[in-house]
């Protein structure tokens, strides 16, 4: 997926210092559903094969960020990474 703005690559250990918006970043219901599908697939890959994925997401200032990590679990509101680090699903744009 192409983005008009380059993303800033961060380490997963830096995520807890970020502030996130409570608003949904995606406006299209089909894209929200597709994101959920990709998150479930990435969770399976992470748990079974220890495969890392790139998560593209935004912080409260709408800065585009990327983290290369393994997804351990997905809840209704959050993506859970190693060491209990979480990213709100509503801030995630795409998973690759």
* CATH number of the domain to which 48 belongs: 2.30.30
The predicted model scores a pTM of 0.90
Q: What pLDDT does 7 receive?
A: 82
Domain extent at residue 79: 8-95
| Position 60 in a domain | yes
Q: How far apart are CA 19 and CA 15, in angstroms?
A: 9
| Position 56 in a domain | yes
| Position 1 in a domain | no
Write out the chain's pLDDT in tens, 96 residues.
445 567 899 999 999 999 999 999 999 999 999 999 999 999 998 888 888 999 999 999 999 999 999 999 999 999 999 899 999 999 999 999
Beta-carbon count within 10 A of 41 CB = 13
| Position 2 in a domain | no
| Position 51 in a domain | yes
Q: What's the total number of domains in the chain?
A: 1
Q: What pLDDT does 48 receive?
A: 86
Report yes or no: 82 and 12 within 8 Å, Cβ to Cβ: yes
| Position 75 in a domain | yes
């Amino acid at each position: 997926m192409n983005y008009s703005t380059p993303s800033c690559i961060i380490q997963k250990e830096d995520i807890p210092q970020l502030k996130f918006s409570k608003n949904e970043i995606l406006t299209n219901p089909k894209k929200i559903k597709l994101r959920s599908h990709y998150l479930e697939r990435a969770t399976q890959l992470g748990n079974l094969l220890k495969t890392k994925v790139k998560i593209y997401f935004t912080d409260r200032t709408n800065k585009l960020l990327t983290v290369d990590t393994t997804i351990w679990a997905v809840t209704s509101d959050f993506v859970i990474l190693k060491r209990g680090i979480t990213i709100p699903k509503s801030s995630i744009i795409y998973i690759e």
